[in-house]
Structure 1
Amino acid sequence: MSDCIFCKIIAGEIPASKVYEDDQVLAFLDISQVTPGHTLLVPKEHYRNLLEMDPNSASCLFAQAPVVAKKIMVATKASGMNIISNCEEVAGQTVFHTHVHLVPRYSADDDLKLDFIAHEPDFDKLAQVAETIKNA
């Protein structure tokens, strides 16, 4: 897509700080740098987001996620890593070309907050939701 910023980066029309590249994917530093080393892993073929990708293309993308994430962790001496892909605007997607955020974590005080609050589940409701998903 000619108006897609990530397609322009892939084509070499816009500079990027590349950290990995092969025939299928490109990884480059995110200009926002939520934490030092924050990297985006993108397929070279344009897809709006993961929900549009076929299994083979998604497999090629995700095959490189641990490879690149490990390199980031070694280089930055990070203690952990968040691997995130936002699908659609309501989920925080702002660039509509599939991308996976590889966000190194250094401490619980990093700027990125993902809070999962544990509580006693309603197992009947979970079973209903699971059945609905299986049948979709």
Structure 2
Amino acid sequence: MDCVFCRIVKSKEPAYVVYEDEYVIAILDKYPISRGHTLVMPKKHYRDITEIPSDELCRVIKVTKAVAMAVLKALNVPGVRIIQNNGAEAGQVIFHIHFHVIPMKGHIMGRHYLTEEEGREVSELLAKAVKEVLSNMG
């Protein structure tokens, strides 16, 4: 199977990691819609929401919530959009279930390529904030 997210999980592809534990990884989107656009996914490969077991989905959504809270705080944005697409017709491009956590501050201008400078800066900022949020969530 040639899945870019599986390659990232196995450290065969670079990514800016915001959070990682035994089951879940959160990375910055390579082509973000806005600064801090983060993808949260299980480390194990599941095509979409219909394949992932409920207990594993719960782990992923807990981290998704923590990332959303961290984005709001660390990036000082007034809103966050959470999107999860299932199937090509729904806009799914990479067929490994993942949640988009997109910071919202006014109008979306469109995607851009994540630069190394932005990747380092934002991933460090969010990694610290996610860790803090998760420690407070219990």
| Structures share fold, TM-score greater than 0.5 | yes
**1:101 corresponding residue in structure 2:** 100
Are residue 4 (structure 1) and residue 3 (structure 2) matched?
Answer: yes
Output the amino acid matched with 1:76. Answer: L
Q: Distance in 2 between matches of 1:105 and 1:93?
A: 21
**2:22 corresponding residue in structure 1:** 23
Deviation string, structure 1 residues 40-77 (Cα, Å, up to 9, x no partner): 00100000011211111111111111111111222211
Output the amino acid matched with 1:97. Answer: H
**Higher relative CO (CA 8 A, sep ≥ 6), structure 1 or 2?**
2
Higher Rg of the two aligned structures: 1
Q: Distance in 2 between matches of 1:94 and 1:110?
A: 20
What stretches of structure 2 of length at least 5 have no aligned partner?
111-138
Q: Percent identity?
A: 37
| Equivalent residue pairs, number | 110
Are residue 82 (structure 1) and residue 81 (structure 2) matched?
Answer: yes
Deviation string, structure 1 residues 77-120 (Cα, Å, up to 9, x no partner): 1110011100000000000001000000011x1247xxxxxxxx
Question: Mapping of 1:118-129 within 5 angstroms?
Answer: none
**1:63 corresponding residue in structure 2:** 62
What stretches of structure 1 of length at least 5 have no aligned partner?
113-136
